[in-house]
Chains A and B, each alone.
Chain A
């Protein structure tokens, strides 16, 4: 009954949450060019308030599913609708909440940009697509919003499209995402072939079609239809491929670091907190479809991603690139957690990560903003995102420093932060899971532990370089003149800092099991080992503390304490980002360019040649036709006409008007007759 009541009175609210940002987008697109920041902020803020209202009505209380008929082909009817459960309302609040904060932040951060109205319009489009993605109940609709999200991300990465690197990065992101989209589409087609529906609640609910289907004699049976068993795995891998591209998993992650060419506020909203989480969200939404092989594949990919990104982040010098690789690494953690069946731990980490990673980006944005601003003020020329040139900003920008420290602590997983709860929960689960595994899967928890240690190191390196160490000579005037960001930006930082602590997620700072967010979802059964619950948080924090001290000695005290020198292979391998870009360039981009060149040549020298010679033949034929027309057809007509004219000119001579000529003519005729008569 409650569900019915909801449908009658509050359906309007759900559509408002999704559609409001679209309205702002359309308004700005339709020609509103002034005061756009207030328009955009108003719409997203209202959307956020409504989401919170819906959240309180739905979280742990009910599942709302409403459907309408969309269109039908023949007898097949396609339905669309909204499906609100714990997962989607949580994402809804997360997306609209962080989007609102980023809107507030951007008002100051993007101030003075000449094309600012485009920025607000694109943000509106992105929020619309992301919220639509979250509430959709049909795979087809999710796919539609999935594409829209990718497209708005493309627009925002390329916001400063006059910069060549931004234009390249936006194209790269779009193309890499297309690879994943192809996988997603394949998955959808397999599912539709098997079950004849796109409806999420029919397919993936408790005792839904997926759970009711079974494997028998190497066939995947559902109701009356079936297909070979392998297709279940293929569908799982295909869906996962979509998530891999969107959530920047190895080997499709290379677009995310490049996407940092966009404005920092965009990076924090789209490429740290929300859009990249869409892949994790998708996996969570269609979780039952994945069988054991795919889940293990997921674990391996997630682990590789987490480890690889952490090692790369160690040596990067661009502040945003470090954070981007950190995002990739954390997404790897989430994917790995989903793979081992730690469903609620993964979603929990997704939520906490959204806040602290957004904060890291926005605080970095505040630093970059100051560096950029002051650099231009002093007319200097250096890379304002290079952490080697920053330093000593602790005194100049205390609020940015404090918020960044809190966010980093959450990222590392230090006690009293949200990251401590969520990250340690995942690590505990992976150790418990590994107990029941054999072979190579045994080493996964240790790799994750190592990644976690590396995380502590690279983020401390960032903090120490930016806030503690001495600035380089070139940037001393810039750094010493820096001050905390304007009020609006700082307020956002402080709000996010609050959300990076344990408080919003549970009252007990040491146990994730008391968190309301964690208990809103259920994980698969993994044998619980009490020992791990005690020892792992302790281990993680001891190692992290060790790493932080190490980083402090290396970067603040400048002790020559190094495992590897800057010239060694490992260092270059890391700072070269595992040479994956070069590998892709060599393995895919160059061959494709060669094929394209070959095709161009084929087109130019074969196809064009055929066309041109055909044209020559046709021209010859037409020349001949022209000649025939002119000389034979026209010749006959003109000939008869000139014959008549000639005869006329002869005969008109008789009609001279002279009497005597006429008489002569008469005489000649008469004589002719007479002669003829006489002769015959």
Chain B
């Protein structure tokens, strides 16, 4: 049987890869992909811990819920990126720095 720590390790690796992508990529789509990585790291954790709640299947349920939310989030995010592109003619997050005052 695969021990829990392996799942957690994989999950942490996924999260870190996603975080790295979010922080470093020069393309909003790639950033979005990084976010998906991080969500999926969390989902993996839910599923892994779900073993200790076999009767009610809370972990499984939350995982499904999160996947749906992620799908919806991606749809919204893609729409935002499309608008950002229309506005700035680029989707490089480094160049879209109008958040500063």
Asked if A660 meets B93 with Cβ closer than 8 Å, knowing A667-B19, A667-B23, the reply is yes
In chain B between 51 and 101, which residues have their CB closer than 8 angstroms to a CB of chain A? 93-94, 96-101
Contact of A655 among B23, B94, B100 (CB under 8 A): B100
Asked if A659 and B19 make an inter-chain contact with CB atoms under 8 angstroms apart, the answer reads no
Chain A hits for B24, CB < 8 A: 660
Question: Contact at B97–A657, with CB atoms within 8 Å?
Answer: yes
Indicate if the CB atoms of A663 and B98 lie closer than 8 Å: no
Q: Which residues of B contact A655 (CB under 8 A)?
A: 100-101
Cβ of B99 and Cβ of A658 under 8 Å apart?
A: yes
State whether B19 touches A658 (Cβ < 8 A): no
Q: Is the CB of B98 within 8 A of A660?
A: no
Given the complex of chains A and B, what is the CA–CA distance between A667 and B22 in angstroms? 11
Number of A residues contacting the other chain (C-beta, 8 Å)? 10
Whether the Cβ atoms of B22 and A663 lie closer than 8 Å is yes
Closest residue on chain A to residue B19 by CB atoms: A667
Out of A656, A663, A667, which one reaches B97, CB within 8 Å? A656
Chain A residues within 8 Å of B97, by CB: 656-658
A interface: dominant SS: helix
- In A625-657, the 8 Å CB interface with B consists of 655-657
CA of A667 to CA of B97, assembled, Å: 19
* Alpha-carbon gap, A590 to B99, bound state (A): 95
Q: B17 CB to closest chain A CB, in angstroms?
A: 14
Shortest distance from the beta carbon of A483 to any chain B beta carbon, whole Å: 110
Across the interface, name the chain A residue whose C-beta is closest to B94. Answer: A658
A657's partner among B19, B23, B100 (CB-CB below 8 A) is: B100
Q: A667-B19, A667-B23 are in contact. Are A660 and B100 (CB under 8 A)?
A: no
* A30: Cβ under 8 A from any B Cβ: no
Give the Cβ gap from B28 to chain A, nearest Cβ, in Å.
9
- Contact partners of A76 in chain B: CB under 8 A: none
Q: Does A73 belong to the interface (CB within 8 Å)?
A: no
A676 at the interface (CB under 8 A from B): no
Check A660 against B23 for contact (C-beta < 8 Å): yes
B-contacting residues, A495-513, CB 8 Å: none
CB distance from B81 to the nearest CB of A (A): 12
Q: Jot down 11 A-B pairs with beta carbons below 8 A, ordered by A.
A: A657-B99, A658-B93, A658-B94, A658-B96, A658-B99, A659-B93, A659-B99, A660-B22, A660-B31, A663-B22, A663-B23
Q: Which 3 A-B pairs have the closest CB atoms?
A: A657-B100, A657-B97, A657-B99
Known contacts A657-B97, A667-B19; 13 further A-B pairs (Cβ under 8 A): A656-B97, A656-B100, A657-B98, A658-B96, A658-B97, A658-B99, A659-B93, A659-B99, A660-B22, A660-B31, A660-B93, A660-B94, A662-B99
Give the interface of B toward A (CB within 8 A).
19, 22-24, 31, 93-94, 96-101
